[in-house]
């Protein structure tokens, strides 16, 4: 009986893998991204907790609302991670981020279970990034960004992201509890890998701020 309960709680417990992702994002000065990851972790955890035994007390919202925000947070996390990878200057960065915030909300309200929920933000972000980087390559007449970005961030990050989406859409019928938990792990790892080593657009200098309550409440 105990092992059955543990298995049912695994999708909820596995959302804690986002904690290192949140911490790393904050230490690298990606405070907005850290806040989005926290939002995602919170609603995904509560959503899965409502499916678990004896945890219905945590369902402070209707189940369909928790479901909506868990999917919305995941799609938005993918979008902000890719926008961070692009390293746009202001006001382009905030414009593209807000574009994702608004369009993803509408897309998920229309259909929250289709492939387009995640493929839409990914495809759009990849197109935007490709256009920017091709322009940079034309200006530099060479590779942009450095080769290390492709080998250490983009390659591994997209591999873990592809693994997460494959688990999410094609393999969950094998064993939902374990497959979905591995999906959380692969997704969190993809976010960590895609984030640049430091937010060069954050401004200021010195030791990066640690994640605390004020970080989660507002972007510094």
DSSP state letter for 89:
P
Give the model confidence (pLDDT) of 15-52 as tens digits.
999 999 999 999 999 999 999 999 999 999 999 888 76
CA 40 to chain centre: 8
Structural domains of the chain ordered from first start: 1-198 (1.20.1070)
pLDDT at residue 205, rounded to an integer? 47
pLDDT at residue 6, rounded to an integer? 60
Query: Is the entire prediction scored with pTM above 0.75?
Result: yes
Most confident segment among 58-67, 86-95, 112-121: 86-95
Question: Which is nearest to 209 in space by CA: 27, 19, 24?
Answer: 27
**Contact predicate 11/50, CB 8 Å:** no
**Contact predicate 21/191, CB 8 Å:** yes
Average model confidence (pLDDT) across the chain = 86
d(CA 167, CA 191): 16
pLDDT at residue 11, rounded to an integer? 85
**Contact predicate 207/67, CB 8 Å:** no
pLDDT at residue 211, rounded to an integer? 46
Residue 201 buriedness (CB in 10 A; 0-12 / 13-18 / 19+):
middle
Q: Name which residue leads in pLDDT, 191 or 59.
A: 191
d(CA 207, CA 91): 25
């Amino acid at each position: 009986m105990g092992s059955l309960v543990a298995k049912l709680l695994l999708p909820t417990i596995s959302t804690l893998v986002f904690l290192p992702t949140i911490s790393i994002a904050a230490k690298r000065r990606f405070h907005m991204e850290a806040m989005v990851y926290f939002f995602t972790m919170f609603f995904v955890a509560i959503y899965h907790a409502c499916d678990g035994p004896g945890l219905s007390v945590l369902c402070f919202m209707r189940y369909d609302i928790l479901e909506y925000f868990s999917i919305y947070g995941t799609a938005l996390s993918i979008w902000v991670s890719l926008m961070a990878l692009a390293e746009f200057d202001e006001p382009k960065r905030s414009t593209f981020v807000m574009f994702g915030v608004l369009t993803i909300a509408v897309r998920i309200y229309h259909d929250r279970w289709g492939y387009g929920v995640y493929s839409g933000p990914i495809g759009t972000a990849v197109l935007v990034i490709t256009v920017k980087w091709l322009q940079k390559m034309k200006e530099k007449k060479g590779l942009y960004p450095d080769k290390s970005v492709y080998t250490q961030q983009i390659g591994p990050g997209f591999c873990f992201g592809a693994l997460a989406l494959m688990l999410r859409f094609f393999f969950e019928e094998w064993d939902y509890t374990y497959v979905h938990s591995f999906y959380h792990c692969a997704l969190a790892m993809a976010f960590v890998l895609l984030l640049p080593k430091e937010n060069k657009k954050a401004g200021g200098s010195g030791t990066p701020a640690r994640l605390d309550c004020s970080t989660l409440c507002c972007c510094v």
